[in-house]
Amino acid sequence: MFKTLKRMWRYMSASLSTRFNEKADPKIQLEQAIVEAQEQHRKLTEQAANVIANHKQTEIKLNRAMEELEKTTASARQAVIMADDAAKKGDTVRATELTKAAEAFANRLVAKEEEITSLKALSLQSAEAAAAARQAVSTNSAALQNKLTERQKLLSQLDQAKMQEQMNTAMVSLSESVGQDVPSLEEVRNKIEARYAKALGMSELKGLPLEAGMIEVNQAQMELEARSKLDEIRSQLGLGSGEPASLTAGPEATAGALGAGESSSDSSEDALPSTAEAATEGS
């Protein structure tokens, strides 16, 4: 039962964490990560400062112990010299007192030497720890600087992503219908193009009668010129306009030819006014 509850709790925690990450603002999360990194760097710097401070204190104690050792050594020598002088003068009491003082200084020297040896070892260890702390702070500082640079890059990419998303949304709203009551740009463009095409078609249809009338007039004019040219050639040859027909056919054929010529002539003359009227109506 306990294991089941534990698994359910982990599942719910993972689910909530996933939902939170989906809804959370990346910019805020990035700032949180940078603040956390800066806080860790601050703590590391404080710890490194404590380590370096311990090394400095050890060095101060070592230097003070060395000074005391020199003073104690000098005092012990002076006591020995004075005890020897008192013994030479026969002052045994004075010599004994000075000898005891020299022995006390010697004991103090032994203690100071042991203390100095211990302080030297401690100073060496603290120096190594201080160097490691400085290196750690330097490495973490470089890592923090890289994170700050990466933050600027990520923020720039985030701004670009937001801008691209807005552009995509704008393009979608332009290419697709926004709603039932609002036409899209594509629909409006198709409507305008349809009206424009229809207008062009009507313009072409209105121009057809005029073009047909012009063609008919040109053909009639060419026929007149051809007939005039033929009459001119016949005149040059000394032939009348009806002589070829009378020579090659009888009276009935000649009359039929003349009738056809007159009807053709009449139709041409009738076509000219109608053509001109059609041209006038088309203009």
Cβ proximity of 140 and 44 under 8 Å: yes
CATH code 1.10.287 for 11-172: yes
**Residue 25 φ/ψ, nearest 5 degrees:** -80, 125
pLDDT over threshold 50, residue 267: no
pLDDT over threshold 90, residue 63: yes
pLDDT over threshold 90, residue 50: yes
pLDDT over threshold 70, residue 152: yes
Average pLDDT of span 9-38: 75
* pLDDT of amino acid 263: 42
> In this structure, which long-range contacts are made by residues 204-213, counting pairs with CB atoms below 8 Å and at least 24 apart in sequence?
209/278, 209/281, 209/282, 210/279, 210/282, 210/283, 212/278, 213/275, 213/278, 213/279, 213/282
